[in-house]
Amino acid sequence: MQEALAKQAPASRLKSELSRRIWRNKWLYIMIAPGILYFIIFKYIPMFGLVIAFQDFKPFFGFTGSEWVGFKHFERLFTEPDFLNILSNTLILFAMNLFFYFPIPIILALMLNEVRINFFKRLFQSLVYLPHFLSWVIIVSISFVMLTMDGGIINELLVYFGFEKVNFLLSNAWFRPIYIIQVIWREAGWGTIIYLAAIASIDPQLYEAARMDGASRMRQVWHITLPAIRSVIIVLLILKIGDVLELGFEHVYLLLNSMNREVAEIIDTYVYTAGLRQGQFSYSTAIGFFKSLVGLILVMFANYLAKKMGEEGVY
């Protein structure tokens, strides 16, 4: 008895110490409470809401009253030819992002780093950062005004140089090029900012030493700058891979029309149309669940690879 009490005493004292600390910091907990409430309501409850992917969800009956159907919607997903098409559209856009967009900010940052005239550098940055702050609606609208068949500047120029007009906006062939050009136009400039910050933190003595040894400009970039920003590149690559299926609903949705649906329908737009427009809540939730899961697995895998290669990784 006595022994048991003696054993318990430190534990309960620890406990009371903890509650004392919590009580002392009560105002801090009150400060973080609204934020935590936000994350619970708008992030975690929807995660539990994913259960409707295993139900035939009817809004009228709610989460509890709807019928459980197991993996029915997931089976439908993998047997429906529509879905395979949408998945491949999504993956193609992702690959284009990785190959055509991802290297551009790195190259731009390296080029910008060679600029010695500060005024030029600042002016360039203000100009190319700007599109990042405009909505996709504005970016797509500007493109539409320029690409339209009746009076768009691009088609007028084509005619002027003796070519036929091209119906860019209603074509399967032009959807992907237009998509990726808009991504580059909006994000490439802004994308340089993090690389520039990394380059700025390189010790200038390294360059001096390299110059003493007679290293050319290109060799300095190759042997000093690139290795120095390697870990930043890898972190951003991991994040990009985690975003594999996060191609920007708004962007694609704005470009989507009945003429290019075959190549432009991606998972996000399909979830929106099937779920909110046609009311197939459970099926589209199953698709969304699949997407989130793939994203999570990929980012963990990429992170694992990075750590294997001796990099820090994201978490």
> 57-76: which residues touch other proteins (CB under 8 A)?
59
d(CA 252, CA 256): 6
Q: Which stretch binds other proteins (CB under 8 A): 3-11, 64-72, 87-95, 114-122?
A: 114-122
Hey, which residues between 266 and 285 contact other proteins (CB under 8 A)?
Answer: 268, 271-272, 275-276, 281, 284-285
Question: Which window, 4-12, 67-75, 85-93, 121-129, contacts other proteins (CB under 8 A)?
Answer: 121-129
Start-end of H helices in 51-171:
62-65, 72-79, 81-96, 103-113, 118-129, 136-147, 153-160
Select 6 or 220, whichever has its Cβ closest to other proteins.
220
Residue placing its CB nearer to other proteins in the complex, 1 or 212: 212
238 binds other proteins (CB under 8 A): no
Q: Which segment (8-16, 67-75, 77-85, 111-119) binds other proteins by CB under 8 A? A: 111-119
Whole-angstrom distance between the N-terminal and C-terminal Cα of the chain?
47
Strands (E), the chain: 55-56, 67-68
Smallest separation, CB 95 to other proteins (Å)? 21
Interface residue with other proteins, options 92, 98, 129, 240 (CB under 8 A): 129
Is 34 a residue that touches other proteins (CB under 8 A)?
Answer: yes
The closest alpha carbon to 97, from 203, 225, 221, 240, belongs to 240
Is the Cβ of residue 204 or residue 310 nearer to other proteins in the bound state?
A: 204
Using CA atoms, how far apart are residues 137 and 63, in angstroms rounded to an integer? 35
Site for other proteins, residues 132 to 191, rule: CB under 8 A: 133-138, 140-146, 148, 150-153, 156-157, 160, 185, 189
Residue 125 near residue 209, CB atoms below 8 Å? no
- Please identify, using beta-carbon distances, which residue of 6 and 30 lies nearer to other proteins: 30
According to the binding rule CB under 8 A, does residue 250 interact with other proteins?
yes
Number of other residues whose CB lies within 10 A of the CB of residue 137: 11
**Of 196, 226, 222, 192, whose CA–CA distance to 105 is shortest?**
192
Query: Please, which residue, 17 or 75, has the CB nearer to other proteins?
Result: 17
- Integer-rounded Cα Rg, in Å, for the chain is 27
CA–CA separation, 257 and 110 (whole Å):
38
Taking each continuous run of H as one helix and of E as one strand, the counts in the chain are: 18, 2
Determine which residue in the list 14, 123, 209, 309 makes contact with other proteins, applying CB under 8 A: 123
Residue 258: CB minimum distance to other proteins, A: 12
Dihedral (Cα; 47, 296, 285, 66), 10-degree rounding: -40
Count of residues interacting with other proteins (CB under 8 A): 96
To other proteins, the closest distance from the beta carbon of 108 in angstroms equals 7
246 vs 90: CA distance, rounded Å: 9
Is residue 124 involved in binding other proteins (CB under 8 A)? yes
User: Interface mask (CB under 8 A) for other proteins, residues 186-225, using x and -?
Assistant: ---x---xx-xxx-----x--x---x----xx--------
Distance CA 280, CA 190 (A): 38
Smaller CB distance to other proteins: residue 95 or 197? 197
